[in-house]
Amino acid sequence: MATRDATGGFDPSGIDEEAWKDLKLQLEATIPNYDKVNKLMTFGQDKRWRRNVRNHATEGMNVLEVGCGPGSFSEDLVGLEVTCLDPSALMLKFAKERVDKARKSRGESPANYVEAIAENIPLPDDTFDMVFCLFSFRDFKDKKQGLTEIFRVLKPGGQLVICDAGKANWLHGFFGAIWMATIVQWMARFVTKDKNHPWKGLARTYTHYGSNGYYRKMMREVGYNDVQGRLLLPFGMASRFRGRKPQ
């Protein structure tokens, strides 16, 4: 494979270590404004997308969220055994406060928290009925390795559901990159009141992210069955991928 030097450490298959370390700091810097900026830049659609993904689980399932961030998705997983995984201790601290508070209010036991990357999950084989990945897949250092590790910890017949930035093809990606580089930057500046806000760097993960077809192929190569990956309508700003570990 060619080096990623020309693109500052990014390509659709992954991110170099140095660029990823910078990205992790930028992601941590988003925490105070994360939900507000997400809501604005997606016209409130992020809530619908999270519900769409959440509805794949049925009561009593043992589920894992990879790249849980500050807990925006996991807090609303009801009636499930939940494990939140993230490489950032700071993200996990915020997630734990938020997710366990919501679980306690519903009379549920606390979730489990694991500080790790998707590419090296310190959990046993065949553990989870479902794995969710929301807006974290594009941050994986090595996407194929992350998909392989998720495959390993899924039970036979278990399902992976990914929701991330929409990129149907290069043309759609071209307009998406313009959106990320302009409107999203203005919105982030408006919310944070800081011209050096962390969304500046985050636009790069979209620019170098692959198309739906690219990741569908990767999922099949790892061994997932029933692979699907398509834009979520009506705006096509996000894509949802699904795949199952064979029985």
Ligand X SMILES: C[S@@+](CC[C@H](N)C(=O)[O-])C[C@H]1O[C@@H](n2cnc3c(N)ncnc32)[C@H](O)[C@@H]1O
Report the interface residues with ligand X, using CB under 6 A.
24, 27, 66-69, 72-73, 86-88, 91, 117-119, 134-136, 139-141
Give least dist CB 182 to ligand X, A: 20
* 128-134 vs 62-66, strand pairing mode: parallel
Closest listed residue to residue 166, CA positions, set 234, 225, 117:
234
21 vs 220 by CB, closer to ligand X: 21
Closest CA to 112 of 74, 84, 76: 84
Query: For residues 75 and 106, is the Cβ–Cβ distance under 8 A?
Result: no
Nearer to ligand X, 87 or 176 (CB): 87
Per the rule left: phi > 0, alpha: psi between -120 and 50, beta: everything else, 174 is alpha
Taking phi over 0 as left and psi of -120 to 50 as alpha, with beta for the rest, 4 belongs to alpha
Are 99 and 82 within 8 A, CB to CB? Answer: yes
Q: How far is the CB of 140 from ligand X (least distance, A)?
A: 4
> What six digits make up the tokens of 202?
């985050």
- Shortest reach from residue 22's CB to ligand X, in Å: 12
Supply the minimum distance, in Å, between the C-beta of residue 71 and ligand X: 8
* Residue nearer to ligand X on the CB measure, 57 or 66: 66
Q: What is the helix, strand, coil percentage profile of the chain, to 5?
A: 45, 20, 30
Q: Which is nearer to ligand X, 67 or 158 (CB)?
A: 67
For ligand X, which is the closer residue by CB, 55 or 247? 55
- Residue 218 CB, shortest distance to ligand X, in Å, is 15
